[in-house]
Amino acid sequence: MIQPTQVFLDLLVGYPASSSTTGKPSEDVENVVGQSASPTAALLLKGVTAKGDTALHAVASNGDSKNFLECATIICKRDEDLLFVANKKGDTPLHCVTRAGYFQMLSCLVELAESCNRLHELLRKENVHKETALHDAVRVGNEDIVDHLLKADPELANLYF
């Protein structure tokens, strides 16, 4: 499994890599997310991979340990619109995490969308195949994720199935 490096975590919270002394920039997450991001951190969040994935796509689809959840939170606090950015396949980070099956990360993204009053927008966002994250959850057979998505938006199934 890929783990976020300390340099990546440091860039997200705005510390230069050489100044991290605790190895845990996440202890200061709530203190730093309101501050201006370093130019390097801002570029990191605006960049995309060849497949069009953002930093949030990458973090969301690679794990749901505490570090990954903190990275996702920091990214969304820096730029909440990244929750809704689609890659070249039209997949949002929610689509990616649903296919990966990371329940804690899915819960985190749902809470982040809810906190910015855009939950239904995220849950109902379709990819290029006109599929929502619920389609992916059903396809991979993850009942916990299906239940969570339907509890978050009970009308979701009625819209598309």
pLDDT of residue 72: 94
How far CA 52 is from CA of 27, 46, 61, 123, 126, in Å, comes to: 30, 11, 14, 20, 16
* Residue found by looking up tokens 């730093």 in the block: 32
94 has a pLDDT exceeding 60: yes
> pLDDT value at position 49?
78
List Cβ neighbours of 55 (8 Å cut-off, separation of 6 or more). Answer: 12, 44, 45, 47, 71, 75, 82
Cα 31 to the center of its chain, rounded Å? 20
Q: Where are the domains of the chain?
A: 6-160
Rounded mean pLDDT of 40-53?
Answer: 70
Minimum mean pLDDT among 24-28, 88-92, 122-126: which range? 24-28
H or E element, residue 75:
helix 66-78
Higher-pLDDT residue of 48, 122:
122
> For the residues 57-82, what does the mean pLDDT come to?
92
Mean pLDDT of 91-113: 97
- The CATH number corresponding to 6-160 among 1.25.40.20, 1.50.10.10, 3.30.1360.120, 3.40.50.720 equals 1.25.40.20
pLDDT band at 3 (very low <50, low <70, confident <90, very high): low
pTM: 0.76
- Of all residues in the chain, the percent with pLDDT exceeding 70 is 69
